Structure 1
Amino acid sequence: MFNLKDIIRPNVLKMKAYSSARDEFKGAASVFLDANENSLGSLAGDKYNRYPDPHQRKLKTRIAELKGVQPEQIFLGNGSDEAIDLLFRMVCRPGQDSMLHLPPTYGMYEVSANLNDVALQAVQLTDDFQLPVEEVLLNVKPTTKIIFICSPNNPTGNLIEPESISELLRAFNGLVVIDEAYIDFADARSWTSRLQEFPNLVVLQTFSKAWGMAGLRLGLAFASPEIIAVLDKIKPPYNINEATQELALQALGREEALRDMIEEIVQERELLMEALPNMPSVETVFPSDANFILVKVKDPNGMYKYLLDKGIVVRNRSSLPGCEGCLRISVGTLEENQQLLQAISQFN
């Protein structure tokens, strides 16, 4: 039986969150002399002389409506990387606890583990990039506090079978973090719809991919109100700036434009996946539920350098376990994709 208090670090359970000026004041006022701000204004524009809402109330309310969850189930971070780091700080004792991830996968799980002095456990995905549940459970230790699953997975692009994830959620008494950075490009239901079913589930999403807001650095974590309350306690007080909150609210009002962009990206992805197997230098094009494609080629290093010479930058993933000989190619515009295909067709 999962019990959050059993895995939270004792010092985190005992600590009190920093109380900012905006936390202590409630109600309406016209004169703010409590936060040592510049009352004359801001050289960057109106309102930016004031600290932002530390709890992002308006933004969380709108996201909750869109995602079908409660505002109390939402954490907003400076990119998903902040949520990943805080999850380590929340439950993993430095030098004592461990995490488990499933390579080939997103590299920040390992970076954050190393930064927080958390031991790294790795169980490789199967040959078809799926979750080997039995092997994972055999590798779980009493010190294993978090398991990270990326679905759709980066760099392979595929969804992880939901039945396997459900089995792991039921069997593991730590946090299971499902990173859904690319879920908007997949024909699948988000795991946010199952938060009530699994108290140890944390779902990560982002505004960097489908929403096209990578430069604003806004990530999301969805979980039980109890987990979110702890993340809110240990985060920096003003981690989401005012400009990001405002621009995200504007973007959330353009759902139709979002759907159009996703549809166009998926169409371009399918065209690339149809054309690439016909190239002599291409060996395998793996199925993708994301906005990128993993492609196995005969000469990955040679093709990578060749494309660079043509002014085209892709990601060489051939050094990752399970991705030998592979390049990861993001879906571009129609013109960019045509330029890419022409270049690959001419590679000798």
Structure 2
Amino acid sequence: MGKNKEYYKLVRDNIKKLTPYSSARHEFSGHASVHLDANENPFDYHMYNRYPDPLQWDLKKKIGKLKGTTPETIFIGNGSDEPIDLLIRIFCTPGQDAIHVLEPTYGMYRVAADINDVEVHTTLLTESFEINEDRLFDNMDAHDRILWICSPNNPSGNVQDQQIMINILNRFDGIVVVDEAYIDFSKEASMVSMLQDYDNLVVLQTFSKAWGMAGLRCGLAFSSPWIIDLMNAVKPPYNVNEFTQKYLSEQLEKADEVRKEVSKILQERDRVFHFLESLDAVEDVFPSEANFILFRIQNSQEIFSGLQEKGIIVRNRTNVPLCKDCLRVTIGTEAENDQFMKQIKILCK
């Protein structure tokens, strides 16, 4: 395992000493005609009698070509929530270390920290949901091990200034995780291209959003090989099942179709955005580079409940920092968006 001395010291001592579980598939590479090593059922009438590749090498090669990186820099997980949890378990000692989040943001960073008995320190974004670098470093604590940056941000939809994120990578002595779950909807470039320059950078992505495979539960982490090696050592041996690996491998051949769907979603996002701007009851519509829009509206709870009564479910974010009276609407099909706009217009009268 190639280690960066400056950041490897952040790894928990018990993780450094860990002997990973070695499955039968870990101990053999290549192709064999007789598998008698893993106590599997030998009959393959249902096609899934064999254990999957624990490190998903064939799939990583395809993803690497798509994302412009190498298989050694890729971790594949059960959704993005698995790498979020793994990173906290690797770098944060329970009851001692902390993570730092920029609020408002994706709630699972805090949940994963709470589960692992890791303190959560926070810094508010600006009123326009941007990072105030000076405020952030004034709030930093010596126990902070991981900083989480969601870009495009959830729930606001905006991307963070890439130069500010680079400044943070250079200034922060810990691990910086940039969560790019919605990057496929953005015109901004991914931070994956900067992996070679920063040994403390982790970039999260997912196939749940633009690729339309939320039910498949497949997330990605990109980082320096030494961090990926640690994640592979801590994860369960067969964390990505055979069906997911095969299905996803097939879907990666359809990148052009995904781009067309994303283009349609962006057109609908613009249409819904302009509609919301036209409503007198809507006080703010926040610019979005994701597949959702956050907007502030008068009588937000009544509007939220009224939409629910008509079978239209949006997300009420009014209790989230900086989001008082805000609702978040995901961009659906043209027909779904029409229903949303029709009902909210009626409710605003």
| Cα drift, residue 163 of structure 1 | 1.4
1:139 matches 2:149: no
Structure 2 runs not aligned, ≥5 long: none
Distance in structure 2 (CA, Å) of the matches to 1:226 and 1:84: 17
User: Which stretches in structure 1 are left out of the alignment for 5+ residues?
Assistant: none
| Paired AA for residue 222 in structure 1 | F
Could you tell me how far apart the structure 2 residues matched to 1:26 and 1:224 are? 23
Q: 2:78 corresponds to which residue?
A: 78
Q: Provide the aligned C-alpha RMSD in A.
A: 1.1
| Displacement of 1:84 | 0.2
Contact 1:76 1:221 in 2 (8 A): yes
Determine the C-alpha separation between the residues in 1 that align with 2:29 and 2:275: 59
- In structure 2, how many angstroms separate the alpha carbons of the residues matched to 1:156 and 1:2? 36
1:1-348 alignment, distance < 5 Å = 3-41=6-44, 45-46=46-47, 48-347=48-347, 348=349
Following the alignment from structure 2 to structure 1, what is the Cα–Cα distance between the partners of residues 141 and 326?
33
1:205-245: per-residue Cα shift (whole Å, max 9, x none)? Answer: 00000000000000000000111111111110000000000
1:152-200: CA deviation from partner (whole Å, max 9, x where unpaired): 0000000011111111110001000000000000001000011111110
Judge which range, 277-286 or 77-86, deviates more.
Answer: 277-286
Question: How many Å separate the matches in 2 of 1:29 and 1:200?
Answer: 38
Superposed displacement of residue 2, structure 1: 7.0
Residues 185 and 290 in structure 1, CA contact (< 8 A), matched pair in contact too: yes
- Supply the distance in 1 between the matched residues of 2:205 and 2:32 (Cα, whole angstroms): 35
The one-letter amino acid paired with 2:288 is S
Measure the CA separation in 2 of the matches of 1:335 and 1:280.
23
Report the AA paired with residue 63 of structure 1. Answer: I
The runs of 4+ residues in structure 1 deviating greater than 6 Å are none
Tell me by how many angstroms 1:26 deviates: 3.0
Equivalent-residue separation in structure 2 for 1:205 and 1:21 (angstroms): 29
CA distance in structure 1 between the partners assigned to 2:23 and 2:269 by the alignment = 46
Percent identity (aligned): 49
One-letter code of the match for 1:119? E
Query: 1:150, 1:178 within 8 Å by CA — same for their partners in 2?
Result: yes
Provide the rounded CA distance (Å) in 2 between the counterparts of 1:326 and 1:135. 24
Moved more, 273-282 or 334-343: 273-282
- Report the residue type matching 1:176 in the other structure: V
**TM-score, normalised with respect to structure 2:** 0.97
* TM-score (norm. length: structure 1): 0.97
Aligned to 1:253, the other structure's residue is in SS state helix
Give the superposition deviation at 1:278: 1.1
Aligned-partner SS, 1:288: coil
* Aligned AA (2:343): A
CA drift at 1:5? 1.6
